[in-house]
Structure 1
Amino acid sequence: MSNRKLWISALRALHRNFRSTSRFSIGIYPKLESSGVFSFSYEVGKPPGYGSCRDRFAEICSFSSKNFCSESADGGVSRCWNCSAVSTSKLFLSCESCKSVQPVDTSVDYFQIFGLDKKYEIKGDSLEKKYKDWQKKLHPDLVHSKSEKEKEYAAEQSARVIDAYRTLINPLSRAIYMLRLESVHVDEETTVSDPELLAEIMEIREAVEEADDPQSLNKIQCQMQDKLESWSKSFGDAFKNRKFEEAITSTQRMTYYERVKEEIMKKL
């Protein structure tokens, strides 16, 4: 296939993928330069409250025809940039054939990276084991003898795996991430207007300020952990039943209790 057709196919595939996974509208305008290389411009429509769609789209599209072999035009299948082997699965962090580390595929979500079902309840031990397995394959120190291109891919993939692990291992960040996968925006800085909750938080913070020994602080810490677990369960139930407003309320409660725990840790 010619470079011209290859790039057009790539742009169309990216446009379809991005449009199907977000609420943003995108116009793509490819142009064939005199050098024979395609350039393009695009216009992005973005609703208030969302992060920069333009930046995200630019990141997805910042690749050259030289690196394009990881996305073939053969029905959208993924091919290794090094040996052109076809991937047998959606997850394509490293080639099954030549073991080369592949470029980051942002369409693979954090649950897919670790081979987990997209469920709120996950086992920490299982997640940690899979995280360590991936780090063994992707850590830059372990690919020092590889090409500069593969070193760069390994560094990017390793950073993504670390971010995925840190997001999923924490109940609060996992909850917020799962809502975002459903295109439900969560503003972590929203002030809760529930008088009962505000009174409770003020009382807890006063207790933290007045506590002058580790035993008292640890007691409050345990209380916060119990509240976190209770609201974590509430989130899981609400999310499972797609009651997203209730799920958001649960994350707001969890955020307050998490912040109290952080204040306690500073005093211990």
Structure 2
Amino acid sequence: MKTIKVLWRQSSALLCRNIRPIPFVCANSLHSSTKSPFFVSHTLLPEDINFPTNLPHNAPNQLFQLFCSESSLNTMLRRCWNCKISPTSSELFLVCNSCQCIQPVDPSVDYFRIFGLERKYDIEGSSLERVYKDWQKKLHPDLVHTKSESEREYAAEQSARVVDAYSTLKNSLSRAMYLMKLQGVHVDEEQTVSDPELLAEVMEIRESVEEASNSQALKLIQAEVQEKMKQWSEIFAKAFRVQDTEEAVRAIHRMTYYKRANEEIVKRL
């Protein structure tokens, strides 16, 4: 245990030497595709680091793994600006569970965690809506107008992030793209697709929309487009579950074209 304490203090001293944000790089924090390190976004002070008392006396490797875990490191470093209490690994750090003060935005908290959801494609819209309303109530300007200027700014930033998270997750296409982004895969919506079958189908849909004589005809075409959107949404869900990146990206490209077709129909209705 003495050896671990010495290692911990040496590591703490090294981290606290610079007052500027410093890159904290380790094997587990480098994504296989992006290779981008996790950056500590605020000054490290000795009191920011809680020494773990439950590590086995013969586990220096566990200490290294603890430092190299982005979520564990984030939990150790983050403290409520008001009551100075650190959140547990299971707590969401938008609002402090101890004093209920609104916290600065923590980029490591992804959109799914904001809504208490697993990182998966199939989600319940009703639960998303419920949690969204709960967060907006807590972050509403009318409820924080008596707070300090800093906390009002935190509330505005957190509220904007919750809105962005909600709009991203409630839409099947943006949710799919966000999931791929979390996996380190960027899918460009504007990328030109050279799939002859898809391009021919899109051309046929456009011609049908242009030739539609009334709103009833347009609604029939819209129903077909929405059905195709649903089918490819299911294909993406399956591809994502089995980690078939190529098929998942292909499904997103299909969904993107069907989304645009639907938007054209809506303009004519």
TM-score > 0.5 by shorter chain: yes
In the alignment, structure 1 residue 80 sits paired with structure 2 residue 91? no
Match of 1:211 in 2: 212
AA partner of residue 144 (structure 1) = H
Structure 1 residue aligned with 2:34, among 14, 19, 23?
23
AA partner of residue 23 (structure 1) = T
Percent same amino acid among aligned pairs? Answer: 55
Structure 1 unmatched runs, 5+:
27-55
Match of 1:39 in 2: none
Q: Deviations over 1:219-253 (max 9, x none)?
A: 11111110011000000111111100000000000
CA distance in 2, matches of 1:211, 1:87: 58
1:183-198 equivalence runs, <5 A: 183-198=184-199
Compute the displacement of 1:73 (Å): 2.3
CA distance in 1, matches of 2:109, 2:17: 22
Compute the displacement of 1:266 (Å): 1.1
Q: Deviations over 1:92-151 (max 9, x none)?
A: 000111111001110111111111011110000011101111111112332111100001
Structure 2 unmatched runs, 5+:
1-8, 52-72
Q: Which has the larger radius of gyration?
A: 2
Q: Deviations over 1:180-203 (max 9, x none)?
A: 111012121121212121111101
Q: Check conservation: 1:9, 1:73, Cα contact below 8 A.
A: no
1:1-268 equivalence runs, <5 A: 6=16, 8=18, 11-12=21-22, 15=25, 19-20=29-30, 23-25=34-36, 61=41, 72-74=48-50, 76=73, 77=76, 78-88=78-88, 89-268=90-269
The structure carrying a bigger strand percent of its residues is: 1
Match of 1:40 in 2: none
Give the aligned length.
232
Q: Check conservation: 2:92, 2:113, Cα contact below 8 A.
A: yes
**RMSD (Å), alpha carbons:** 2.9
Compute the displacement of 1:72 (Å): 2.5
CA distance in 2, matches of 1:134, 1:221: 34
Compute the displacement of 1:5 (Å): 6.0
Match of 1:177, SS? helix
159 and 18 in structure 1: CA distance in 2 versus 1, 3 angstrom threshold? farther
Greater displacement, 112-121 / 17-26: 17-26
248 and 16 in structure 1: CA distance in 2 versus 1, 3 angstrom threshold? same
CA distance in 1, matches of 2:260, 2:132: 26
CA distance in 2, matches of 1:9, 1:240: 43
CA distance in 2, matches of 1:142, 1:195: 55
Match of 2:68 in 1: none
Q: Check conservation: 2:30, 2:36, Cα contact below 8 A.
A: no
Q: TM-score, normalised by structure 2?
A: 0.77
Q: TM-score, normalised by structure 1?
A: 0.78
